[in-house]
Amino acid sequence: MALEFTDANFQQDVLEADKVAMIDFWAEWCGPCRMVGPIVEELAKEYGSQANIGKVNVDHNPEITQRYRIMNIPTILFVKNGQVVDKQVGAAPKAVLEQKLKAHL
């Protein structure tokens, strides 16, 4: 199951983590986000032991959303060693997200 990243746990669970993190910035009212959501859940099941894979609800976590200048959703960030190493803006098929994730494992 995908993790829930929040303003409160982002520093510890993403920036200070010893694993790469894949973060899906989404909102309940976002149609394309609903298409990406199940893909993120699948990747969390498949790669959860190797990476921290989770979601940030932009409506409930304005601090992180503003810090990373998230203007369009879904936006998926890949963070390694506290730095953004890759990004996907807009809905993408599982193969694209999986390829980006594997590149940083």
**CA distance linking residue 3 with residue 95, whole number of Å:** 21
Rg (CA), the chain: 12
pLDDT score for 45: 97
Q: Minimal CA–CA distance to 21: which of 1, 48, 39, 60? A: 48
Residue 29 lies in a domain: yes
Provide the domain count of the chain: 1
pLDDT score for 85: 98
Give the other-Cβ count within 10 Å of 97's Cβ: 23
Q: Sign (positive/negative) of CA torsion 76, 80, 81, 83?
A: negative
Residue 28 lies in a domain: yes
Q: Minimal CA–CA distance to 58: which of 83, 89, 24? A: 24
pLDDT score for 98: 98
**Enzyme catalytic residues:** 30, 33
Give the CATH number, domain containing residue 60: 3.40.30.10
Domain range for residue 43?
3-98
Residue 60 lies in a domain: yes
pLDDT score for 18: 94
Residue 105 lies in a domain: no
**Judging by beta carbons within 10 Å of its beta carbon (0-12, 13-18, 19+), is residue 20 exposed, middle or buried?**
buried
* Tens-place pLDDT, residues 5-54: 999 999 999 999 999 999 999 999 999 999 999 999 999 999 999 999 99
Residue 103 lies in a domain: no
Residue 104 lies in a domain: no
* Tens-place pLDDT, residues 74-86: 999 999 999 999 9
Residue 12 lies in a domain: yes
Q: Between the CA atoms of 98, 56, 3 and 50, what dihedral angle is there, to the nearest 10 degrees? A: 40
Q: How many residues does the chain have?
A: 105
